[in-house]
Amino acid sequence: MTISQGLSRRNFILGSTAGGALLASGAGAQTVPAPINDVTGGATFRWIDSGDQKAVFFKKLFAEYAAARDVNIVYDPLPWNEIARVIPLGVRNETAPDVFVLPRNTSLADAVAQGWLQPYDDFIPDIETWKAGFPTGAFLPGINVFDGKTYGLPFTSNKRYSTHLLYNKDYMEAAGFDPAETPLTQSEFREAARKITEAGKGRYFGFILGGSQLNRWQDAVRNMGRMAGASAGGDSPLDADIDLRTGDYVFDSDEYIAAVELLIAMNDDGSFFPGLMNLNAPQARAYVPQGAAGMILQGPWNIPGWEAGHPEFDFGVASGPVPDQGPTGKLTISQAGAVPNTISLWAGSDNGAIAGEIFHYLGTLEGQVAWGTVVGAGDPPIMPEAIERAEFSPRSRFILNHFNEAIRVGPNPIVRNADLAKVISSFTAPDIGFARTVQGLVSGEMTGVAKEMKALKDRYNAALDAAFDKARTEGAQVDRADLVFPNWDPDVDFAAADY
């Protein structure tokens, strides 16, 4: 397939026609990607991602784009556990989709090293100018740029967290709290759950969480612990639960231990929704608008879903629980783009021209605003200006403002030493990892929070040391000291000049 660099007459006419048709039809913010490449008509282009509200945007975009460019687009939104099977198998069998998100246990660095992906620089004319439109920290060597070539497209913002409070306003008012006005402290959170459960008299309960979905336990403790003051990252094995000022894990910190103990206490209070341990996250989320549970710690993607699906449900959104005393700690992210939404072009794809046009569009302000307006606060666009200009509901805007307040960009060890990518790909978390340990402690299968969190820290230290050893035997120049940034202040963004 030949790629034209610049705008051919044919493409200009096609683009003008598509744009004109949209203007004439008065279709909302969403437009069709501009024709920047020569695209072969009749081609079949396949795309897999994790769906949810993203699917609403892509289904509409792809239908319009396919019609305008005379191509077939097969879009498959899949749950993460299926992505974990389908993508590796597809790559091995050479039947992978043209564009896909990576399974959660595969880093972009690993996928590039394994030859899964091809760069898309050749499919976006003047790519450097286009990349300059992204915020700082979107494209980083060792993260999504390898040997000067661009591999993953980070088009949604990483400034969000998955355990802010969503609550039933009626129940919360009856319990005597207003979290939107003043965030609940950890003790108030427990008290609210207890009071709501009491008022429910078996018809509804204070707190729900997808207890069979392990990462929900980990995220709840990590974010409550970090807001209570345990400064640590949460994005990759190089920063997750590590205090980057010292390079040490914080699993056994007072803040993490207190967060686990809070969940145990709430369970002992009887404030947990019955059967919570056997619910996955979507099931747990579904119970809240039904009035069966008063509070959930979840992500912003629920907001557009509930507003559309349950317009009668009066719910509030607020910060996750903050410490009883002292200032609220910031949540740290290690890069501007949201890792799970980062899309990549398969090495075996012949449809780079199509991918290039769609990627390009997603990286323009126009595409970003369209994205933000359709997808909402769940996966906010990466460009701050697009967040300003996109249409959001008051709840969505409230939570995006909160994210802006609560989240800071921290140091990213890979930026300082690209060889650390080898450590990520060598790292295997312990069998009984963070998430399982919290689930085990809350369910009563494990006892002794402080002892188990210390043992957890030891297991992670051993796993990380092993990953460093393995990376070194493969020639990487790496050391645990590479994870130490003594000048990091968790309350402010870590800028390029700070490295």
Partner 1 sequence: MHLLHILHRHRFAYLMLLPGLILSGMFVFYPIFAAVFYAMQDWSGFNADIKFVGFQNFVDLFRDPIFWNAFGRSIYFLAGTVPAQLVLSLMLAMVLNNQLLKLSNLFRTMVFLPVVTPVAVIGIVWTFLLSPFNGPINGLLLDIGLIARPIDFLGSSDTVMPSVIGVYVWKWLGITLIYWLAALQTVPEDVYDAARLDNCKGLRLVVLVVLPIIMPFAVAITLITMVSALNVFPLIMSMTNGGPFFGSEVMEIFIYRTAFASDDGTIPRLGYAAAAGVLFGLMILGLTILQSLATRMARRRAEGVA
Interaction site with partner 1 (CB under 8 A) = 81, 84-85, 88-89, 91-92, 104-106, 110, 114-115, 205, 211-212, 214-215, 218, 237, 240, 270, 273-278, 287, 292, 427-436, 439-440, 443, 445-446
With contact defined as beta carbons under 8 Å apart, do 40 and 72 qualify? no
Distance (Å, rounded) from C-alpha 132 to C-alpha 155?
13
- Nearest distance, CB of residue 214 and partner 1, angstroms: 6
Judged by CB, which is closer to partner 1: 371, or 434?
A: 434
Helices (H), 95-180: 108-113, 127-132, 169-175
Question: Token pair of 151, please?
Answer: 């591999």
- Nearest distance, CB of residue 202 and partner 1, angstroms: 8
- Nearest distance, CB of residue 232 and partner 1, angstroms: 15
- Return the sign of the alpha-carbon dihedral for residues 122, 100, 425, 474: negative
- Nearest distance, CB of residue 92 and partner 1, angstroms: 7
Helices (H), 212-290: 215-227, 254-269, 281-287
- Nearest distance, CB of residue 429 and partner 1, angstroms: 4
Distance (Å, rounded) from C-alpha 120 to C-alpha 3?
12
- Nearest distance, CB of residue 221 and partner 1, angstroms: 14
Judged by CB, which is closer to partner 1: 65, or 251?
A: 251
Judged by CB, which is closer to partner 1: 68, or 242?
A: 242
Question: Token pair of 5, please?
Answer: 């660099």
Can you list the positions of beta strands (E) in 80-151? 99-101, 145-146, 149-150
Judged by CB, which is closer to partner 1: 94, or 181?
A: 94
- Nearest distance, CB of residue 470 and partner 1, angstroms: 10
- Nearest distance, CB of residue 402 and partner 1, angstroms: 25
Judged by CB, which is closer to partner 1: 284, or 369?
A: 284
3 state DSSP class of 467: helix
- Nearest distance, CB of residue 471 and partner 1, angstroms: 13
Q: In 10 A of CB 475, how many CB atoms?
A: 9
Cβ neighbourhood burial of 187 (10 Å; 0-12, 13-18, 19+): middle
CA nearest neighbour of 135 among 160, 112, 151, 158: 158
CA nearest neighbour of 400 among 381, 414, 415: 381
Judged by CB, which is closer to partner 1: 364, or 443?
A: 443
Judged by CB, which is closer to partner 1: 134, or 273?
A: 273
Judged by CB, which is closer to partner 1: 37, or 332?
A: 332
| CA angle (288 as vertex; 218, 60 as ends), nearest 5 | 85
Judged by CB, which is closer to partner 1: 332, or 439?
A: 439
DSSP state of 134: S
The partner residues of 150 in beta bridges, in order of sequence, read 145
Judged by CB, which is closer to partner 1: 110, or 261?
A: 110
153: phi then psi, degrees, rounded to nearest 5 = -105, 110
Distance (Å, rounded) from C-alpha 112 to C-alpha 425?
11
Judged by CB, which is closer to partner 1: 56, or 214?
A: 214
Contacts of 201 (CB under 8 A, 6+ apart): none
DSSP state of 149: E
Distance (Å, rounded) from C-alpha 211 to C-alpha 442?
10
- Nearest distance, CB of residue 56 and partner 1, angstroms: 26
CA nearest neighbour of 100 among 114, 118, 113: 118
- Nearest distance, CB of residue 193 and partner 1, angstroms: 16
